[in-house]
Amino acid sequence: MSSIELDSVSKRFGSVEVISELSLTVHSGEFVAFLGPSGCGKSTLLRMIAGLETVDGGEIRIGGERVDNLPPGARGVAMVFQHYALYPHMTVFDNLAFGLKNIGTPTEEIGRRIEEAARILEISHLLKRKPGQLSGGQRQRVAIGRALVKDPKAYLFDEPLSNLDAALRVRTRVELARLHQQTRATTIFVTHDQVEAMTLASRIVVMNARKVEQVGTPMEIYGRPATEFVARFVGSPAMNFLTINLKDRGGFASAVLGDGSVIETDVPINILPSGELRVGLRAEAIRVREDGAIPGKVEVVERLGDRTHAHIRLADGSTLVAEDKGISQVQPGDSVRLAVEGATAHLFDADGLAYHARQ
């Protein structure tokens, strides 16, 4: 397996720069997810690695070899497409064999590899069928199989699960995770679904508006989002944001909410810029408790079984989502009090940059 290095890579569509001087290294054997909303440039980046988009600046190296001038087929990567892109007129076997034949792999070797891949993916009984006769899930497996038989330097997945129904998506996710654990293949996985990124990737590259917002392990992304965008995009429900006034609490910042209540954060005050600040709180950091400091009124209650989310309006009119236990007494219209776990609070400046407690 090989590493993938992007070195100040740029891409323009006409006069619009869609990727600007982006650098990134995917280590050998690593599973990296590109996460972001649609149009953020993540697919473009993946396709640049695959050779399906030209590179307007910078270098791409796979396994140390510069590839950005090589045709897609010469880069030694395999890609699984969102719509599978199986060859409709070929049998499953021929779909898998096509790439191998094109590089002159001996027939027996092709047969052996396909047999093996088919066994792994449990599609051995489908080899004689054509894609049109397969279910969505089966097609997905064939698409993965087509990548697998090539034994590539790296796997590239372009939103491969988005066309599956919910149950199948979860199952396939787990299977992909297992597959990766066993093959330890360098993998880049493009998705707009944070759960997929969180569950599969060893590192996540969060992209927004053609920029990398943050690169980090799933827990870094979740626990220490670099920007307001990351904080909002990752985690469900989305992080609560409240405008605050700052108070020094012995070198740490205390956030004063609109209604006057105070949240004691662990963020050092000396790293904070001047100007407007907001506090970012995940729902699980805000608990409905009788002894809570902040009063509010319940507007909507979402019961998830293991926990309950309560949408609450504070006295100054701002709203947030708080968490309560699974069996919660909270009803819409109730007046409740909220307890905030200040240690997990993040602060954000006017530009959306995040400031966290020291680790």
Strands 286-288 and 335-340 come out as antiparallel
Residue 53 in contact with other proteins, rule: CB under 8 A: yes
Please say which residue, 83 or 247, places its beta carbon nearer to other proteins: 83
Binding mask 31-50 for other proteins (x = CB under 8 A): ----------------x--x
Tell me which stretch binds other proteins (CB under 8 A): 3-11, 21-29, 94-102, 208-216: 94-102
- If we measure between CA atoms, which residue out of 197, 103, 87 comes closest to residue 146? 87
CB atoms < 10 A from the CB of 86, how many? 21
Of positions 7, 115, 151, 259, contacts other proteins by CB under 8 A: 151
Residue 77 in contact with other proteins, rule: CB under 8 A: yes
Cβ 15 to other proteins shortest distance, Å: 18
Q: Which residues pair with 214 in a beta bridge?
A: 206
Residue 15 in contact with other proteins, rule: CB under 8 A: no
Strands 4-13 and 57-62 come out as antiparallel
Residue 115 in contact with other proteins, rule: CB under 8 A: no
> Angle 187-213-203 (CA atoms, 0-180°, nearest 5)?
30
Inter-residue contact 219 to 235 (CB < 8 Å): no
Residue 89 in contact with other proteins, rule: CB under 8 A: yes
Whole-angstrom Cα Rg for the chain: 24
The H-assigned helical ranges of 250-311 are: none
Strands 262-268 and 252-256 come out as antiparallel
Tell me which stretch binds other proteins (CB under 8 A): 36-44, 84-92, 201-209, 240-248: 84-92
CA–CA distance, 31 with 40 (Å, rounded to integer): 20
Tell me which stretch binds other proteins (CB under 8 A): 31-39, 76-84, 245-253, 334-342: 76-84
User: Tokens standing for 89?
Assistant: 């007129």
Please say which residue, 169 or 309, places its beta carbon nearer to other proteins: 169
Q: What are phi and psi of 226, to 5 degrees?
A: -75, -30
- If we measure between CA atoms, which residue out of 186, 158, 160 comes closest to residue 175? 160
Of positions 17, 175, 193, 266, contacts other proteins by CB under 8 A: 175
Residue 310 in contact with other proteins, rule: CB under 8 A: no
Please say which residue, 153 or 346, places its beta carbon nearer to other proteins: 153
Of positions 35, 78, 242, 340, contacts other proteins by CB under 8 A: 78
Q: Which residues pair with 80 in a beta bridge?
A: 157
In the complex, the residues that contact other proteins under the rule CB under 8 A are: 1, 47, 50-54, 70-74, 77-79, 81-83, 85-89, 98-99, 102-106, 109, 116-117, 119-122, 132, 146, 148, 150-153, 175, 178-179, 182-183
